[in-house]
């Protein structure tokens, strides 16, 4: 409200969208003109799904105001979007690629925009939209207020902020380690060949009606989708190769509980908001902790209870341990009944038992190591001397 630039971080599902929607509407309603509308605020988001969600929030919160909101996104004909822009709009919610196309074709004028929001900023930078974002920001008015929101503050965000933001206020409500308390975490060790099979079993045994299943690749998503279909489980799929219409239909089916499982990649599912989603399943363990945080954030939203299930093959143990370490959580690793392991398990270091004196902190470990090494060296030297003495006696 003071017009400061902002870097804002908060857990998924805690209300970041409304946190910027209400102040923007309040700011714009004071200056709008019904007869001569110009674009005054811009929200940039990484995915079509998030574009729909943010637009819906603006329209619901501003339904009693004379404020128009337009979407600029891929998957919809440009002609339809340009027609809406010609009629006049106050706020644009856009994906970076399509908006840059309009700027390059000189189809949109951003010179009056003085409020810019980058939602899920870390995701846009990870997806390689940094050049598009720079083009867009340079096309907007100066001075302007820029706000960057995300579940996590990455180094990429800090670099972009340094280039475009003026002494930003950093508002970090919680860091990525503070996962939503309402979420229960489970991990099942499973053989590589039986991952899809255990998903079908869990869906049946737990009576799952709504679940988002995350994979790391489109190929993996397609394989598990086909397997679940063959097992007569109601399943839908969204990833980068699916059209705008197909992705919207898949989401609506899950929300209406006409689909039990929605198979998704990280990119396609970012920004998906389903009220009271009870289950998230990590079919593949993500490469980065931040990706795990975003996945987890699809459930447990607005303090509703949720469960996250992670499937671990022998290749996932170390990566999952790193995620646990980063988030300072400890998730018990079980074997599901009927899915006993046959894959050769990696050797694990046996923990060395500490003496009571060590547990109570009476022994300095560094000193102990030095002492042990010195004692062993002394013993070896004494043995060598003794051996040399005996050899000398034999010669005599």
What confidence tier does 374 reach under pLDDT thresholds 50, 70, 90?
low
Q: Which residue has the higher pLDDT, 248 or 16?
A: 16
Stretch 309-324: mean pLDDT: 94
Per-residue tokens: 379: 């013993």
Stretch 355-384: mean pLDDT: 64
Stretch 283-310: mean pLDDT: 84
Domains in the chain and their CATH numbers?
6-172 (3.40.50.300), 183-334 (3.40.50.300)
Contacts of 343 (CB under 8 A, 6+ apart): 191, 192, 313, 314
What pLDDT, on a 0 to 100 scale, did the predictor assign at position 175? 54
Model confidence at 360: pLDDT above 70: no
Whether 164 contacts 7, CB under 8 Å? no
Whether 3 contacts 23, CB under 8 Å? no
What pLDDT, on a 0 to 100 scale, did the predictor assign at position 370? 53
Stretch 62-90: mean pLDDT: 90
Q: Give the model confidence (pLDDT) of 218-240 as tens digits.
A: 999 999 999 999 999 999 999 88
Per-residue tokens: 166: 């003026």
Question: For residue 340, how many other CB atoms are within 10 A of its CB?
Answer: 10
What pLDDT, on a 0 to 100 scale, did the predictor assign at position 154? 80
Q: Which of 124, 132, 115 is nearest to 5 (CA)?
A: 115
What confidence tier does 295 reach under pLDDT thresholds 50, 70, 90?
confident
What pLDDT, on a 0 to 100 scale, did the predictor assign at position 183? 83
Model confidence at 365: pLDDT above 60: no
Model confidence at 380: pLDDT above 70: yes
Burial of residue 284 (CB within 10 Å: 0-12, 13-18, 19+) is buried
Model confidence at 356: pLDDT above 70: no
Stretch 277-283: mean pLDDT: 93
What pLDDT, on a 0 to 100 scale, did the predictor assign at position 20? 94
What pLDDT, on a 0 to 100 scale, did the predictor assign at position 120? 87
Q: Give the model confidence (pLDDT) of 172-217 as tens digits.
A: 886 555 554 568 899 999 999 999 999 999 999 999 999 999 999 9
Burial of residue 349 (CB within 10 Å: 0-12, 13-18, 19+) is exposed
What confidence tier does 76 reach under pLDDT thresholds 50, 70, 90?
confident
CA angle in degrees (0–180, nearest 5) for 42-117-157: 140
Model confidence at 257: pLDDT above 60: yes
- The percent of residues in the chain predicted with pLDDT above 90, rounded, is 49
- The percent of residues in the chain predicted with pLDDT above 70, rounded, is 87
Question: For residue 269, how many other CB atoms are within 10 A of its CB?
Answer: 24
Q: What does pLDDT average to over the chain? A: 86
What pLDDT, on a 0 to 100 scale, did the predictor assign at position 371? 57
Stretch 25-42: mean pLDDT: 87
Q: How far is CA 133 from the centre of its chain?
A: 20
What pLDDT, on a 0 to 100 scale, did the predictor assign at position 385? 84
What pLDDT, on a 0 to 100 scale, did the predictor assign at position 379? 80
What pLDDT, on a 0 to 100 scale, did the predictor assign at position 364? 52
Model confidence at 270: pLDDT above 70: no
Stretch 49-53: mean pLDDT: 88
Model confidence at 359: pLDDT above 60: no
Model confidence at 54: pLDDT above 90: yes
Per-residue tokens: 355: 């003496």
What pLDDT, on a 0 to 100 scale, did the predictor assign at position 178? 52
Where in 129-246 does DSSP place strands (E)? 145-150, 169-172, 183-189, 211-215, 235-238
Q: Helix, strand, or coil here: 180?
A: coil
What confidence tier does 337 reach under pLDDT thresholds 50, 70, 90?
very high
What pLDDT, on a 0 to 100 scale, did the predictor assign at position 392? 78
What confidence tier does 142 reach under pLDDT thresholds 50, 70, 90?
confident
């Amino acid at each position: 409200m003071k017009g400061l630039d902002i870097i804002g971080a908060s857990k998924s599902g805690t209300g970041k969208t409304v946190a910027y929607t209400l102040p923007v509407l309040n700011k714009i309603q004071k200056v709008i003109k019904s007869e001569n509308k110009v674009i005054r605020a811009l929200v940039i988001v990484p995915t079509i799904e998030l574009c729909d969600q943010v637009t819906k929030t603006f329209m619901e919160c501003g339904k009693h105001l004379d404020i128009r909101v337009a979407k600029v996104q891929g998957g919809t004909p440009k002609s339809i979007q340009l027609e809406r822009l010609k009629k006049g709009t106050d706020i644009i919610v856009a994906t970076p690629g399509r908006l840059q196309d309009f700027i390059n074709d000189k189809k949109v004028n951003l010179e009056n925009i003085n409020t810019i929001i980058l939602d899920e900023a870390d995701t846009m930078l990870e997806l390689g939209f940094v050049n598009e974002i720079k083009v867009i920001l340079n096309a907007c008015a100066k001075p302007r207020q820029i706000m960057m929101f995300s579940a996590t503050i990455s180094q990429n965000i800090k670099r972009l902020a340094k280039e475009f933001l003026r002494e930003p206020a950093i508002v970090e409500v919680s860091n990525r380690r503070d996962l939503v308390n309402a979420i229960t975490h489970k991990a099942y060790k499973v053989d590589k060949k039986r991952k899809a099979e255990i998903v079908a079993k869990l869906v049946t045994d737990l009576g799952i009606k709504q679940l988002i299943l995350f994979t790391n690749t489109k190929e993996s998503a397609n394989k598990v989708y086909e397997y679940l279909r063959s097992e007569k489980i109601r399943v839908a799929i969204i990833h980068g190769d699916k059209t705008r219409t197909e992705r919207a239909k898949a989401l609506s089916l899950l929300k209406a509980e006409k689909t039990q499982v929605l198979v998704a990649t990280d990119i396609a599912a970012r920004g998906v908001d389903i009220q009271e989603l009870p289950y998230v399943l990590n079919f593949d363990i993500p490469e980065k902790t931040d990706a795990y945080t975003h996945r987890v954030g699809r459930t447990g939203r607005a303090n509703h209870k949720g469960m996250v299930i992670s499937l671990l093959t022998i290749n996932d143990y170390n990566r999952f341990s790193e995620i646990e370490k980063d988030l300072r959580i400890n998730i018990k690793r079980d074997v599901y009944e009927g899915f006993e392991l046959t894959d050769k398990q990696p050797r694990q270091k046996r923990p060395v038992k500490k003496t009571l004196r060590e547990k109570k902190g009476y022994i300095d470990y560094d000193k102990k190591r030095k002492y042990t090494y010195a004692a062993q060296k002394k013993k070896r030297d004494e043995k060598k001397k003794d051996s040399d003495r005996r050899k000398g006696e034999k010669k005599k």
